[in-house]
Every structure is written in structure tokens, then in C-alpha cells.
Amino acid sequence: MRGNTQLRRQKVKTQNIIDYNMSGDKEQHKGAGHRKRLRDRFLQSRFDGFLDYEIIELLLTLTTPRRDCKDMAKEAIKKFGGLRGVLDANDEDLQKIEGIGPSNLLGIKIFCSLFERYEKEKVSENLSLDSPHLVVDFFKRHIGLDNKEHFVILYIDSRNKLIVDDVSVGTLDSSLVHPREVFKKAILASAAQCIVAHNHPSGDPKPSSQDVAITRQLVDASKIIGIELVDHIIVTKDKFSSLKELNLL
């Protein structure tokens, strides 16, 4: 009798192992079927027909095992006012949503970083320094959302390739943004024109007295080295100012 009981227990244990391996999931949560349907919809038609929260939900599922992501996705859309608001939000603000933490927001950040890199390469192929609106949009995407100040130079090299060079990160001053550092790579690439830009994390694109002083220093240097400084653009997430348009160049 004992032998039969042990055999039955072994069969049940074996069947449980088989069921586990076939399920592909240690614990089938209540949203497992919904998650699969969400992924199947994406594979069939990409994001066509998706609601905003469903896109965020799908991104969250990439790094959220065995947990329903619908409620946190809906809350994120509500808090940040839509899909764009969620994708633009920083990590700290995203983690204020119940259920979103450092690990499971990874899917969102990967998507944003990949899209940013793709757009940068795509725009770089077609962007001209003579296209002010394209340039402004490029800088908004490149540095406008960052919560640290970035000073960058944009120029076309001798092979007619658009280059973006990060000069400094942090509070701008004349010691960080020295003409030697700003124009170094442009000189080596035999560039004829360039545009410099930086972001204002405060959200106010109005140039400070320091911004104006640095710009005039760069203009004087550009005339000496023979590389035209086309403009100095200050960007935020959704605004910009052009020192050229303000007659401060």
C-alpha cells in the first residue's frame, strides 16, 4: 500500500512539473491571458487600435513578471495627461505611480531611448543647418527633456555628415564652454558652419546674461578660426529661443 501511495505522489509531482514547463510561467496571474492577447495584437497590427494606456501597459509587461499592469498604466496616463506625457516623464515621477519601480519602468525607458537614437540618426541624414525649424525640433528631442544642462555643438563635417558633439554637462560657465572645446572637433573635421545649443531644465528658454556673454565669446572665436556660428539655440521640452532672432548673436 505504501508503495502505491508513493507511486501516486510521484505521478502527481511529475504531472505538475510537466504542467509547469508547458505553461512557461511559474504562477499564472489573473492577467496572464490578457497580457498574451495584448502582445498578439501588437504582433498582428503593431499599435493600430491600441489605446494610450494599452501601449504603456505593454511596455510595462516587458519587465513586470506575473503581475497585471493595466491599472498602473491607466494611472500613469491619467497623471501625465496622455501617452506623450508618460514617455516624457522622468524616472522619479514615474515611480510615484503605485506598482511602477526601477525594474519595471525599464521597458518604457528602453523604448524612449531606442526611439531617440533612431530619430537622431534619421534626422541626421536629412538635416541642414539652414533649416531652423528642423534644427529646433532636433535639439528639443536631443536635450530638451533632460533635467541637467547640456551644451552641444551641431556641425557638418568635410564629408557632409551631420555631427552632434556634447561639449559639457552641468551648469554653464565660460570655463566649461571654452571656444577651444566647442570648436575642437569642428576644426579637425574642416566644418564651415555650426550651431550651438543648450537646454534650460527650468522650462524657461529666455537667455541669461551668462548665455549672452558665452555666445559673444564664441562668435569672436568663430570669426578668427573661420567657422561660422549660425545660431545659439536654447531649448526646453516645448519651447525655444534663438539668440540670432533676438539679435544677440
Q: What is the mean pLDDT of residues 194-201?
A: 92
Tell whether 145 and 67 lie within a shared domain.
no
Residue 208 maps to a domain: yes
- pLDDT for res 233: 94
Write down the pLDDT at residue 162: 79
Residue 230 belongs to a domain: yes
For the residues 209-214, what does the mean pLDDT come to? Answer: 91
Instruction: State how many domains the chain has.
Output: 2
Q: Based on the fold, state whether residues 135 and 79 are members of the same structural domain.
A: no
pTM over 0.85: no
Let me know if residue 120 belongs to a domain: no
Of 61, 80, 113, the last residue of a domain is 113
The predicted-structure confidence for 80-101, as pLDDT tens digits, reads as follows 999 988 988 888 899 999 999 9
Q: Do the domain assignments include residue 70?
A: yes
Who contacts 86 (Cβ-Cβ below 8 Å, separation ≥6)? 52, 56, 76, 77, 80, 94, 108
Maximum distance among all Cα pairs of the chain, rounded to whole angstroms: 99
> 104 and 16 share a domain?
yes
In a domain, 11, yes or no: yes
Question: In degrees, to the nearest 5, what angle opens at C-alpha 160 toward C-alphas 157 and 163?
Answer: 50
Torsion of CA 195, 200, 203, 207, to 10 degrees: -70
Query: Do residues 99 and 23 share a domain?
Result: yes
Domain C-terminal end among 68, 89, 113:
113
192 Cα distance to chain centroid: 30
**What amino acid occupies position 7?**
L
Task: Kindly state whether residue 119 falls inside one of the protein's structural domains.
Answer: no
pLDDT greater than 90 at residue 198: yes
42 plus 137 within the same structural domain:
no
Return the pLDDT at 24: 44
Structural domain boundaries, residue 225? 129-242
Distance of alpha carbon 56 from alpha carbon 77, whole angstroms = 8
pLDDT at 171 over 70: no
Residue 106: inside a domain: yes
CB 202 within 8 A of CB 147: no
What's the whole-number average pLDDT of the chain? 82
Asked if 86 and 94 touch (Cβ cutoff 8 Å), the reply is: yes
Angle at 212 between CA 176 and CA 200, to 5 degrees: 70
Query: Do residues 180 and 155 touch, judged by C-beta distance below 8 A?
Result: no
Answer yes or no: is 89 within a domain: yes
Q: Are residues 106 and 137 in the same domain?
A: no
Q: Same domain for 181 and 101?
A: no
Cβ-count burial of 40 within 10 angstroms (0-12 exposed, 13-18 middle, 19+ buried)?
exposed
CA 64 to chain centre: 20
Whether 205 and 148 share a structural domain: yes
Type of residue at 68: D
56 and 145 belong to one structural domain: no
Neighbours of 229 (CB within 10 A): 25
CATH number of the domain within which 191 lies? 3.40.140.10
Question: Quick one: 58 and 163 in the same domain?
Answer: no
Q: Indicate whether 20 and 69 sit together in one domain.
A: yes
CA distance 145 to 89: 9
- 135 lies in the same domain as 60: no
Residue after which a domain boundary falls, among 64, 87, 113: 113
Give the distance, in angstroms, between the CA of residue 20 and the centroid of all CA atoms in the same chain.
Answer: 38
* Pair 155, 203: CB distance under 8 Å: no
The residue to which cell 541669461 is assigned:
208
Q: Quote the CA–CA distance of 185 and 158 in Å, as a whole number.
A: 11
Mean pLDDT along residues 152-175: 77
Return the CA Rg of the chain. 26
Q: Is the pLDDT of residue 68 over 50?
A: yes
